[in-house]
Structures are given as structure tokens and as C-alpha cells.
Amino acid sequence: MWLYILKRVLQGLLTVWFIATATFFAMHNVPGDPLTNDRAMTETTRANLEAKYGLDQPITTQYLIFLRNLARGDFGISFVQENREVNDIIREHFPVSAILGVLAVVFAATGGVLFGALTALYRNRLPDYLIMFLVILGISVPSFVVAALSQLSLVSLNTLVGFTVLPVAGWGTVMHMLVPALVLGLSTMAYLTRLMRSSMLEVTSSDYVRTAKSKGVPPTRIFTRHQLRNAILPVVTVLGPAIAAITTGGFVVELVFAIPGLGRYFVEAVQQLDYTVIMGTTVFYGAFLVFMVILVDVVYGFIDPRVRLDS
């Protein structure tokens, strides 16, 4: 077991190193650099700035310096947000993304399990059709459309009622979180609903459920103990990567709802060619994703004893 975890962690580190290296060289190969600005600079100014940020060094030297600082967990100072360390940016803004992400996952998981169970129970009847229709919508409509539409409906709602029921954008109170989190979790919720439904149907027609029924086990007990509990396993499997994906993928929602999360920095850094922030956020998100995948694999071993980790 411990050997397995160690092996996975080493693999994970290798993955993160690979992500960092690929990003580093891809980024430096893009035309332009962080110093490029629409007011052209004199040679002297450019030379001074390059020296200040170490951009005058050969690329291999820059890479080695980057690796050395990475080992120390130091990503340096942002080119655009001068005076701000990349670590500070991550420290201040990741919690916002994380809180939003956690709430979105909670929404997605509860919604997915409940709706999935409901559709399986009422298979081929009205609730099933209705929910599955919405699920298809939830999966196929991109989040920026849903985000914009829900924001628009908030405006209409507030106008209709005459006071601010739910704020349209911003961050700070529970009220600010509800709609963005729901929007962020929506496609995952839809996906989980489908997963839960098919998983439930499979379990329902399984031998042990039939046996339990014929034994005369009470329906509520069959439903909870035999059906739900077994059907929920695949959902748990995808939950880990889903948490990572949601937490790191919220930049559209963050943008639309003006939420000061990390996703915005991630995207803007690429547009601004802000080298240090690109590296910092990419490595951080990469490591986070890898960690979540490992975590799920390990936890899965505890939930389902049939999974033998060390073999």
C-alpha cells in the first residue's frame, strides 16, 4: 500500500516536471515577451528591463534558474502585477476559486446522485424524460452561455421583485456564490446524473437485488442499502478529477461574475505573456490535478475492497 502510494507520488512529480518543462519552452517560443508593449521601447530601456528580469540570459540558463527556484517553491515576481509575488497571487486568489469549486462540486454531487436515482426509479416515465432532457441541455450548452443567461435572469428577477434578491456579480457573501457555483457545477451535475442513472439501472437488474426482493427485504432498505450504495461507486470515481476540473476550470464563470479567483490570472497571464505567472499557475494547477487523481485512486481502495492497490 505505502509502496504503491510512493510510486504514484513519484510518477506524479515526473508528470508535473514534464508539464513545467513543456510549458516553459512553449511559452518562450511564442513571439514577443512580457516586456512587449504598445509604446515601443528604446534599446537601452529594453536592455535594462531584460537584465532586471534575467531575460538576457540564454534560454537554457533561464530554464535552470527556473528549475532551481521551482525546487524551492519560488515562482518569482509577476511581470504585469509588479511588486506581487506569484506565490502571493496563488495564495490570495486560489482560496476563492477553491471555495467556489467546492460548492460547485457539492451541488453537482448531491444533484447528480439525487436526480440520477430519481430518473432510474421512474425510468421511462415523465420525471425521467424531463430530467434527461435537461441533462442533455446541461452537457451540451457551454458554460459561458449558461453563465450569461443566468446573470441576465438574475437581473430580471431583481428588477421584478424591486430589490436585490441575489447579487448579479461580485464576491463576499453566500448570496454571491450560489448562482456562480450552480453554473460552474451544472455540466458536472448533468454528467453525474447520467452516470448515476445508468449505474442504478444496472444495479436494479442485478442478481443480489432480485434475491433481496425475493427474501422480502423492505423496499426502502433495498433501495438504500443494495441499490444506492452500490450504484454510487462510479460516481465517487469521477468525483476526484471532477473536483480538480471544476476548481481549475472556473475562469469563464469567474470572468462573467467578476469573481477574484485564480482562473482569471491563469488566462490573463497567457494573454499578457506574463512568464512567471504562467509558470506558477500552470505548475500549481498541474500539481493539484495530479494530486487529486492520486488521492482518488487511494481512497477508492478504501471504499471498494475489491480494488487491490499493491498488486
Partner 1 sequence: MSESRFNPVPSDDKFVRLAGGQLAKFALNAMAGLALVIYLLSVLAGEAGSTTSGNAIDFENNAITIALREEPPQLDANRATDASSNVVLAHVMEGLLGYDIDAQLVPGVAERYEIREDGATFWLREDALWSDGVPVTARDFVFSWKRVLDPETASQYAFILYPIKNAEAINRGEMPVATLGVRAASDRILEVDFERPTPYFDKLVAYLTYFPVREDFYNSTNGRYGADADMLLYNGAYVMTDWVHGSTMRWVKNDKYWNRENKGFLDEIRTAYITQDINAKLNLFKDGQIVDTHLLSPMLPTAMEQRWQIDRSMDGSVFYLEFNHRDDRITRNKNFRRALQLAQDPNELVYKVLKEPSYLPGVSLFPAWLSGVSESFQKEYPPVQHQINVEKAREHLELARQELGIEEFPPLMMLAGDTPIGLLSAEYYQQLFRKHLGLEFRIDVQIFKQRLEKMRQGDFDVVLSGWGPDYNDVLTYGDLFSSWNLQNRGRYSSQDMDALIRIAQSELDPQKRMDAFGEIQHLLYEDVVILPMYERGFSFVVDPRLKDFRRRSVGPEVDYNYAYIEQSSD
Residues in 274-303 at the binding interface with partner 1, rule: CB under 8 A:
none
Q: CB-based contacts of 49: which residues, under 8 Å, 6+ apart?
A: 35, 41, 55
Q: Which residues, 181 to 210, sit near partner 1 by CB under 8 A?
A: none
Q: Does 108 sit near partner 1 (CB under 8 A)?
A: no
Give, in order, the Cα–Cα distances in Å from 143 to each of 63, 112, 150, 169, 260. 36, 17, 10, 16, 18
Q: Does 122 sit near partner 1 (CB under 8 A)?
A: yes
Give the residue, chosen from 126, 219, 302, 311, that forms a contact with partner 1 under the rule CB under 8 A. 219
* Per-residue binding letters, 65-104, with partner 1 (x by CB under 8 A): ---------------xxxxx----x--xx-xx--x--xx-
Give the residue, chosen from 58, 73, 142, 216, that forms a contact with partner 1 under the rule CB under 8 A. 216
Give the separation between CA 3 and CA 18, rounded to whole angstroms.
23
* Piece in contact with partner 1 (CB under 8 A), picked from 8-16, 220-228, 229-237, 282-290: 220-228
Give the residue, chosen from 60, 214, 308, 311, that forms a contact with partner 1 under the rule CB under 8 A. 214
DSSP calls for 229-298: HHHTHHHHHHHHHHHHHHHHS-HHHHHHTT---HHHHHHHHHHHT-HHHHHHHHHHHHHHHHHHHHHHHH
* Piece in contact with partner 1 (CB under 8 A), picked from 10-18, 107-115, 276-284, 292-300: 107-115
Using the CB atoms, write b or e for 93-120: b if 16+ within 10 Å.
Answer: bbebbbbbbebbbebbbebbbebbbbbb
* Piece in contact with partner 1 (CB under 8 A), picked from 62-70, 234-242, 260-268, 280-288: 260-268
Per-residue cell: 199: 449505474
Give the residue, chosen from 9, 10, 22, 30, that forms a contact with partner 1 under the rule CB under 8 A. 30
Indicate the residue among 54 and 172 with the shorter CB distance to partner 1.
Answer: 172
* Piece in contact with partner 1 (CB under 8 A), picked from 6-14, 240-248, 261-269, 285-293: 261-269
Q: Hunting for cell 449558461 — which residue is that?
A: 146
CB of 237 to partner 1, least distance (A): 20
CB of 141 to partner 1, least distance (A): 16
